[in-house]
Amino acid sequence: MKQGMPLFMLKKGQSGRVIGVSSLSDKGLRKSMSFGILPGTVIKVLQVFPVYVLQMEHTELAVDIQIVKSILVEKI
């Protein structure tokens, strides 16, 4: 099993590859999946305040801290 870190630990401009999503609820997991946040997806952090803005391929997405805390990535 790969070691990862929560996405919120990445700084603005850094990227990570999703290795897993841990959620306290099924609703949160489904929400992440509907955004395309799946294992193998490369995410770049464009902004961290006042909300996180993430880029995945050609999509930019603003998400709240609860989602960002549930995404495990390996820094690339």
Confidence of residue 38 (pLDDT cuts 50, 70, 90): confident
Q: What is the pLDDT of residue 1?
A: 46
Provide the residue ranges of all domains of the chain, joining segments of one domain with +: 5-75
Confidence of residue 2 (pLDDT cuts 50, 70, 90): low
CATH assignment of 5-75? 2.30.30.90
Q: What is the pLDDT of residue 46?
A: 98
Q: What is the pLDDT of residue 37?
A: 86
Rounded to an integer, what distance in angstroms lies between the CA atom of residue 48 and that of residue 33? 21
Count of CB atoms within 10 A of residue 4's CB?
18
pTM for this prediction: 0.85
Rounded to an integer, what distance in angstroms lies between the CA atom of residue 1 and that of residue 30? 23
Alpha helix (H) residue ranges in the chain: 26-34, 65-70
Closest Cα to residue 28, out of 56, 67, 2, 54? Answer: 67
